[in-house]
C-alpha cells in the first residue's frame, strides 16, 4: 500500500485539471456566487489584485488572501439585512476571512505522501506549477503527462514515441501555468487506487478511526444566525439536532457550505436571519406549518407565490422551491395530501459507523460533499455519533503509510 504514496507525486494529479483562474478580492459577491457554483467543495481561493508593473507575475502564497464559501456569503447577507440585492455588490475583500495558511505552493515533484501530510495539517488547496518536469518518478503516468505537455507546446510537430519518452525541458514550457488541487481531487485520485490501498478501503470507518466524535451541533430551536459562530472550518458544517432524554442527538439536518452551495443566496440569507436552525436546515411544511410574517419593506427579498393584492403584512413561505434547491419549472404532482418537508439542497448525507471507507469515499464524491454524518447502525432514530470529513479520510489512508514510508531526504 505504501508504494502508492512513495511512487506517486502531486504532479500526477494535475493531469486534466484546468489552469488556475484567479478570483480577485475586488470582485463582487455576485461574481463570487457564480464562481462558487462551479468550484469544488463549494469554495474559491481569493487573491490580491495584481499591481503593475508586476501584473504578469504568477500566483504565489504571498498574494493569496483566503477561501470564500457559500456559507460565508449567506451569513454576511443575513447579518447586514436591508437591501440584500444591493449587498451582493459588496467587494469580496469585505467578506473573505484572511487565512494564508489554507493554501500552499508545492513543487510538482513532491511525493504524494508529503502533500497529504500538508493537507492533514489544514491546507485546503495546493498550488502546483505545471512547467516542472519530474524524473524517475510516477512512471505509469509519465508518458501521458509528458505527452500532454508536448501536444500543448509543439502543435505544429507530430509527437512520436522517441519524443514522448523524454520529458520536456523546463525552459521550453510556459512558466505561469498553475493549477489548484483540492482535497476532493486527492480523494478522487485515491479512489482510483483502491486495489493498491487494500485492505484499508474495505475496513469500516469505525475500525479505522475515521469517525470524528467531536462534531459541532446546535439545537433545532436555536436561531439559525446564532449557529454560524459555532461552525468550524473543517468541515464547514454544523449538525442541527434534537436532544433525547439519554443525552444522545437525533440529527434533523445541517447548516453547511455544502448545503448552500448552489442555492439562492439572497433568499437563504433572509431565512437564516428569521428562522430557527431547524426550520432553516429542514424547511417548513408548505401546507401544515405556519409561515413567517414578513414586513412589506422586506418583501422584495422573498420569492412569493400567489399573494392577494393589497394584503399586508405578506405571508411568505420559506421552502425548497423558494430557496432554489429544486427546479422551479417542474410541475407539482397533485396528490391531494400535504407535501412532505424537503431536506435541503439534497437529502442529508449519512452513513453507518459500520460502513466501509470505500463506500463513504464514493458517497462523498458522488454528491461532491465535504462531509458525511455518521449515525448509529443499531438505532432507527438517526442517532448521531460523529462526522467523516476529507481530513478524516486522508488521515485513515495515510496512517499506515506514514509508518513505513521513509521521510523525504
Looking at 207-264, list the stretches that DSSP marks H as alpha helix, in order from N- to C-terminal side.
224-227
What SS3 class is residue 10? helix
* pLDDT given for residue 307 in this prediction: 34
pLDDT in tens, the chain (409 residues): 567 777 889 999 998 888 888 899 999 999 999 999 888 778 999 999 877 665 556 667 788 999 999 999 999 999 998 888 899 999 999 999 999 999 999 999 999 989 999 999 989 999 998 865 565 444 443 333 333 333 333 333 343 434 333 443 333 344 468 899 999 999 999 998 888 888 889 999 999 999 999 999 999 999 999 888 888 877 889 999 999 888 899 999 999 988 888 888 998 999 999 999 998 987 643 333 333 333 334 433 333 333 333 333 333 344 444 444 333 332 332 333 333 332 344 478 999 999 999 999 999 999 989 999 999 988 778 899 999 999 999 999 888 665 555 555 5
Q: How far is CA 346 from the centre of its chain?
A: 14
* pLDDT value for 132: 55
Contact 148, 159 (CB under 8 A): no
Torsion angle of the four alpha carbons 106, 109, 113, 119, in this order, in degrees rounded to the nearest 10:
20
Position 344 scores a pLDDT of: 40
Residue 51 CB partners (closer than 8 Å, separation 6+): none
Cell 519524443 sits on residue: 163
Cell of 26: 475586488
Q: What is the pLDDT, as a whole number, of residue 21? A: 86
Across the chain, how many H-helices and E-strands are there?
14, 14
- Sign of the torsion angle spanned by Cα atoms 100, 103, 106, 110: positive
pLDDT at 56: 55
Q: Please, which residues have CB within 8 angstroms of residue 178's CB and are 6 or more apart in sequence?
A: 19, 20, 58, 59, 127, 128, 129, 130
**Res 210: pLDDT:** 94
pLDDT of residue 39: 84
Residue 130: what pLDDT? Answer: 80
Residues 6+ positions from 11 with CB-CB distance below 8 Å: 108, 109, 128, 130, 132, 134, 138, 145
End-to-end CA distance of the chain: 21
Residue 188 burial (C-beta neighbours within 10 Å; 0-12, 13-18, 19+): middle
pLDDT on residue 53: 60
Question: Cβ(43)–Cβ(36) under 8 Å?
Answer: yes
Q: How many CB atoms lie within 10 A of CB 126?
A: 25
Rounded to two decimals, what is the model's pTM? 0.75
Q: Please spell the DSSP secondary structure of 284-343, one letter per residue.
A: --TTTSPPPEE-GGGGGGS--S---TT-SSEE----HHHHTSS-TTSPPP--SSPPPPP-
pLDDT at 407: 57
- What is the model's pLDDT at position 55? 52
Burial code (b: 16+ CB inside 10 Å, e: under 16) for 84-107 equals: beebbebebeebbeeeeebbbbbe
Amino acid at each position: 500500500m505504501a508504494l502508492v504514496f512513495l511512487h506517486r507525486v502531486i504532479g500526477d494529479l494535475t493531469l486534466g485539471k484546468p489552469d488556475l483562474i484567479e478570483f480577485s478580492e475586488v470582485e463582487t459577491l455576485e461574481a463570487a456566487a457564480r464562481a462558487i457554483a462551479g468550484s469544488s467543495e463549494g469554495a474559491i481561493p481569493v487573491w490580491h489584485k495584481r499591481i503593475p508593473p508586476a501584473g504578469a507575475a504568477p500566483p504565489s502564497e504571498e498574494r493569496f488572501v483566503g477561501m470564500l464559501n457559500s456559507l460565508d456569503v449567506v451569513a454576511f447577507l443575513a447579518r447586514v439585512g436591508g437591501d440584500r440585492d444591493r449587498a451582493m455588490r459588496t467587494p469580496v475583500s469585505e467578506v473573505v476571512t484572511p487565512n494564508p495558511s489554507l493554501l500552499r505552493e508545492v513543487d510538482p515533484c513532491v511525493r504524494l505522501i508529503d502533500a497529504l501530510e500538508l493537507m492533514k495539517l489544514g491546507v485546503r488547496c495546493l498550488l502546483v506549477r505545471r512547467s516542472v518536469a519530474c524524473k524517475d518518478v510516477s512512471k505509469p503516468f509519465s508518458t501521458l503527462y509528458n505527452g500532454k505537455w508536448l501536444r500543448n507546446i509543439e502543435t505544429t510537430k507530430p509527437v512520436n514515441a522517441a519524443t514522448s519518452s523524454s520529458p520536456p525541458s523546463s525552459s521550453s514550457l510556459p512558466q505561469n501555468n498553475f493549477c489548484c488541487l483540492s482535497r476532493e481531487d486527492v480523494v478522487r485520485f485515491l479512489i482510483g487506487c483502491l486495489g493498491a490501498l487494500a485492505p484499508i478501503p474495505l475496513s469500516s470507518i469505525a475500525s479505522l478511526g475515521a469517525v470524528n466524535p467531536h462534531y459541532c451541533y446546535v439545537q433545532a430551536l436555536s436561531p439559525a444566525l446564532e449557529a454560524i459562530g459555532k461552525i468550524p472550518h473543517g468541515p464547514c458544517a454544523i449538525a442541527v439536532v434534537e436532544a433525547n432524554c439519554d443525552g444522545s442527538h437525533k440529527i434533523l439536518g445541517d447548516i453547511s457550505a455544502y448545503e448552500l452551495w448552489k442555492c439562492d443566496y439572497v433568499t437563504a440569507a433572509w431565512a437564516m436571519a428569521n428562522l430557527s436552525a431547524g426550520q432553516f436546515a429542514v424547511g417548513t411544511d408548505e401546507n401544515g406549518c405556519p409561515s413567517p410574517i414578513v414586513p412589506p419593506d422586506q418583501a422584495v427579498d422573498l420569492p412569493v407565490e400567489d399573494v392577494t393584492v393589497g394584503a399586508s403584512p405578506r405571508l411568505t413561505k420559506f421552502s425548497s422551491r423558494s430557496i432554489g434547491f429544486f427546479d422551479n419549472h417542474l410541475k407539482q404532482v397533485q396528490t391531494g395530501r400535504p407535501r412532505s418537508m424537503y431536506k435541503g439542497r439534497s437529502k442529508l448525507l449519512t452513513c453507518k459507523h459500520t460502513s466501509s471507507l470505500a463506500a463513504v469515499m464514493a458517497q462523498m464524491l458522488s454528491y461532491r460533499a465535504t462531509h458525511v454524518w455518521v449515525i448509529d447502525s443499531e438505532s432507527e432514530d438517526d442517532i448521531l455519533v460523529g462526522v467523516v470529513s476529507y481530513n478524516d479520510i486522508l488521515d485513515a489512508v495515510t496512517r499506515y503509510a506514514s509508518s513505513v514510508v521513509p521521510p523525504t531526504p
